Amino acid sequence: MKPTPTYANKPTSDNPRDVEAWALAEAARRLIDAGRNPDNAEALRAALQLNQRLWTIFQAAMTEEDCGHPPEVRTNIAALSLLVDRETTARLIDLDGTKLETLVAINRSVASGLTMRAENAEVPAQPGQPAAPRPQAAAPGRPPMVPPAPAPDGPPAQRQSLSISI
């Protein structure tokens, strides 16, 4: 049996979204740290395996009958999990710490999305545009509408953001 890993920091909240965001950020941090030391293949392997276990938990949660996410969110999380699996397998084969950008970027992006709050905060302004109010929470079961950046040759199209919470 493997020993329980120790953590430099711990989540500061019991909110599941915050814990998930913390876990993704911690996995990204470990990947970055392992990638900085190319002579320590075991540290890289351990960081990759930790990240893979985390994403396996997300995959399994999407298959539960009582999963409260709509089918399109479940499908998106499953597809993202498959990408993480393929990338992780490739890195476990070559143990190249210089090729971790994809995994780190995915973890950071999802963690960032999990920590976003729809509470009267403002969306940061795009260059040349005023700040816009953050969209209010959508109806249960539907992700909130987020106005996209304007297209260079026409009006913006409305798109739904991907909300991930496991």
| Residues 111 and 25: beta-carbon distance below 8 Å | yes
Tell me, yes or no, whether 135 lies in a domain.
no
Strand boundaries in the chain, DSSP class E? 122-123, 132-133, 145-146, 159-160
Domain with residue 105: its CATH number is 1.20.120
Tell me, yes or no, whether 91 lies in a domain.
yes
Encoding tokens for residue 3?
């020993």
pLDDT on residue 36: 95
- How many domains does the chain fold into? 1
Tell me, yes or no, whether 53 lies in a domain.
yes
Residue pLDDT tens, the chain, 166 long: 555 555 556 677 778 889 999 999 999 999 999 999 989 999 999 999 999 999 999 999 999 989 888 999 999 999 999 999 999 999 999 999 999 999 999 999 999 998 885 333 444 445 554 444 444 444 444 344 333 444 444 444 444 444 444 4
pLDDT on residue 116: 85
